[in-house]
C-alpha cells in the first residue's frame, strides 16, 4: 500500500473560498460570519476526481493524508473567532472528501491558531476532528503571524497544552507554515522552506522531546534545507553540546516533497529510512512538467523508484510502513476496513 502523507485540498469548491472572502469582509466590518454555505457531494466529487484522485491513481498511490490548503490557513487574518470559523469550515470539507473516498483519503486538520492566542484554544477543534471525524493528524503552523515570526519557538511552553492533547490522541503534526504576508518571503519558495529549516533547528536547541517523548512531527518539503546541510546540523549540535541528531529522529520525520532526482537521492542517503515518509504535495506548490524529464516536477514517486540502491524493504517503509507507524490512527482505521472513520476515543 502506497501512502502519500502530504496532500492539500487546493481544488476546494468555490463556495468555500467565497465564504472566506465574505468572512474577511465581515470581520473588517466588525462582525463574525460563521460558515453559511452549502456544497453538494457532486461538487466535491468533481473537484477531487479530476485532480487529486486522478493523479494519485495514475501514479499508483493508494491513499493521501489530506488537509486543507496550507496557504489558505492564513492564521494572521482576523482574530481567534475568525480562525475558528474558517478552520471548522475547512476541516469539514476535508471530512466530506474522506467520507466520499474513504479508501483514498485520510484527514489531517488545520488548527484554529491565531497570533498571540494560546494554542490551547486549538484543543477542541483537534479533538473534534480526531474523535468525531476520524482525522489522523494535524498541521501545526510554527508562525501564525505568517511571515514575521512574532510568536515563541515550537519548543516554548506556550505550545505545551496542544502537545499534551496531541500525545493523548496519539496524533502527529506536520509542521507547516501558511501563506506569507511578508514581501521578503515568497510563500512556497521561501517561507515554506524556511519554516521547515527553522523548526528543525528549534528542536535541536530545545528539550521538547524530553518533556514529550511520544510527540511526533513530520517536517515537510524534504525537511527544508536540513538534509542538504546535515553536516552543519550535526556539527552545530555537537558544538552546542546538544544530543546527536539521531536522538531527534525518534520524534522527527521528513517527507519526500523534493522535486528533482539529486535532491531525493541526498534525502534518502542522509536521513535514515525509518524517518522518511513518501509525499508529493500534488496540485501544490509546483504544478508544471519538467521539460528535461517530460514528467511532473512533483512526481516524487518516479525519483524514488529510480534510486537503485534502495532495497525493497526500505522502499516499503518509505512508501507506507513509516506512515502507518507515525500515524497510528491511520493504521487503526485501515485495520477496520478503511471505510468508516475511527470510533471516538483512544485507538
Q: Which active-site residues does the annotation give?
A: 281
The least CB distance from residue 244 to a second copy, in Å, is: 9
Closest CB to a second copy among residues 127, 270: 270
Closest CB to a second copy among residues 287, 346: 287
The least CB distance from residue 331 to a second copy, in Å, is: 30
The least CB distance from residue 241 to a second copy, in Å, is: 10
**Binding letters toward a second copy, positions 85-124, x by CB under 8 A:** ----------------------------------------
> What is the spatial distance between Cα 56 and Cα 279, in angstroms, rounded to a whole number?
11
Buried-exposed string 261-300: b where 16+ CB fall within 10 A, e elsewhere: bebbbebbebbebbbbbbbbbbbbbeeeeeeeeeebbbbb
**Residue 8 to residues 24, 63, 94, 285, 296: CA-CA distances in angstroms?**
22, 13, 9, 10, 17
Compute the radius of gyration of the chain from its Cα atoms.
19
Q: Which stretch binds a second copy (CB under 8 A): 87-95, 212-220, 265-273, 313-321?
A: 265-273
Closest CB to a second copy among residues 63, 208: 208
The least CB distance from residue 293 to a second copy, in Å, is: 9
Is residue 30 a contact residue for a second copy (CB under 8 A)? Answer: no
Contact residue for a second copy among 116, 124, 213, 235 (CB under 8 A): 235
**Binding letters toward a second copy, positions 271-310, x by CB under 8 A:** --------------xxxx-x------xx------------
**Binding letters toward a second copy, positions 157-176, x by CB under 8 A:** --------------------
CB 67 within 8 A of CB 9: yes
> What is the spatial distance between Cα 252 and Cα 277, in angstroms, rounded to a whole number?
11
Contact residue for a second copy among 73, 162, 175, 204 (CB under 8 A): 204
Phi and psi angles of residue 109, each rounded to the nearest 5 degrees, phi first: -100, 150
Contact residue for a second copy among 29, 30, 38, 231 (CB under 8 A): 231
Query: Taking Cα atoms as reference points, which of 150, 152, 125 lies closest to residue 139?
Result: 125
> What is the spatial distance between Cα 347 and Cα 338, in angstroms, rounded to a whole number?
14
The least CB distance from residue 197 to a second copy, in Å, is: 5
Is residue 230 a contact residue for a second copy (CB under 8 A)? Answer: yes
Q: Which stretch binds a second copy (CB under 8 A): 92-100, 105-113, 114-122, 178-186?
A: 178-186
> What is the spatial distance between Cα 45 and Cα 39, in angstroms, rounded to a whole number?
11
Is residue 259 a contact residue for a second copy (CB under 8 A)? Answer: yes
The least CB distance from residue 320 to a second copy, in Å, is: 24
CB 254 within 8 A of CB 210: no
CB 48 within 8 A of CB 97: yes
> What is the spatial distance between Cα 76 and Cα 113, in angstroms, rounded to a whole number?
9
The least CB distance from residue 278 to a second copy, in Å, is: 16
Q: What one-character-per-residue DSSP string does 31-86 give?
A: ----------HHHHHHHHHTTHHHHHHHTT--EEEEEE-HHHH-TTSS-HHHHHHH
Output the nine-digit C-alpha cell for 238.
555537537
Biggest CA–CA distance in the chain, Å, is: 59
DSSP letter, residue 342 = P
Closest CB to a second copy among residues 149, 212: 149
Closest CB to a second copy among residues 82, 275: 275
Closest CB to a second copy among residues 30, 183: 183
Query: Taking Cα atoms as reference points, which of 235, 176, 237 lies closest to residue 203?
Result: 237
Site of interaction with a second copy (CB under 8 A): 142-143, 147-153, 182-186, 188-190, 193-194, 197-198, 201-202, 204-205, 221-222, 224-225, 227-236, 238-239, 258-263, 265-266, 269-270, 285-288, 290, 297-298
Amino acid at each position: 500500500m502506497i501512502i502519500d502523507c502530504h496532500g492539500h485540498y487546493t481544488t476546494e469548491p468555490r463556495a468555500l473560498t467565497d465564504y472566506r472572502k465574505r468572512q474577511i469582509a465581515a470581520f473588517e466590518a466588525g462582525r463574525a460570519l460563521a460558515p453559511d454555505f452549502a456544497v453538494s457531494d457532486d461538487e466535491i466529487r468533481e473537484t477531487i476526481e479530476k485532480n487529486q484522485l486522478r493523479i494519485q491513481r495514475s501514479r499508483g498511490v493508494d491513499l493521501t493524508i489530506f488537509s486543507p490548503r496550507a496557504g489558505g490557513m492564513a492564521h494572521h487574518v482576523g482574530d481567534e473567532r475568525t480562525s475558528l470559523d474558517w478552520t471548522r469550515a475547512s476541516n469539514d470539507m476535508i471530512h466530506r472528501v474522506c467520507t466520499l473516498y474513504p479508501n483514498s483519503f485520510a484527514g489531517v486538520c488545520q488548527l484554529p491558531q491565531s497570533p498571540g492566542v494560546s494554542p490551547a484554544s486549538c484543543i477542541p477543534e483537534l479533538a473534534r476532528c480526531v474523535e468525531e471525524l476520524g482525522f489522523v493528524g494535524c498541521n501545526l503552523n510554527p508562525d501564525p503571524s505568517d511571515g514575521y515570526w512574532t510568536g515563541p519557538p515550537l519548543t516554548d511552553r506556550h505550545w505545551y497544552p496542544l502537545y499534551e492533547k496531541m500525545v493523548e490522541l496519539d496524533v502527529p503534526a506536520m509542521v507547516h507554515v501558511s501563506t506569507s504576508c511578508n514581501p521578503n518571503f515568497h510563500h512556497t519558495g521561501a517561507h515554506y522552506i524556511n519554516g521547515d529549516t527553522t523548526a528543525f533547528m528549534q528542536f535541536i536547541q530545545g528539550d521538547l522531546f524530553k518533556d514529550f517523548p511520544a510527540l511526533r512531527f513530520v517536517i515537510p518539503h524534504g525537511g527544508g534545507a536540513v538534509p542538504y546541510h546535515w553536516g552543519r546540523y550535526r556539527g552545530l549540535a555537537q558544538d552546542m553540546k546538544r544530543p546527536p541528531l539521531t536522538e531527534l529522529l525518534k520524534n522527527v520525520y521528513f517527507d519526500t516533497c523534493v522535486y528533482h532526482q539529486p535532491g531525493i537521492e541526498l534525502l534518502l542517503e542522509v536521513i535514515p529510512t525509518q524517518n522518511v515518509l513518501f509525499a508529493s504535495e500534488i496540485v501544490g506548490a509546483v504544478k508544471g512538467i519538467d521539460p528535461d524529464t517530460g514528467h511532473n516536477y512533483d512526481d516524487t514517486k518516479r525519483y524514488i523508484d529510480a534510486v537503485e540502491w534502495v532495497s525493497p524493504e526500505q522502499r516499503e517503509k518509505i512508501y507506507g510502513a513509516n506512515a502507518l507507524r507515525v500515524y497510528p490512527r491511520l493504521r487503526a482505521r485501515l485495520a477496520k476496513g478503511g471505510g468508516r472513520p475511527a470510533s471516538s476515543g483512544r485507538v
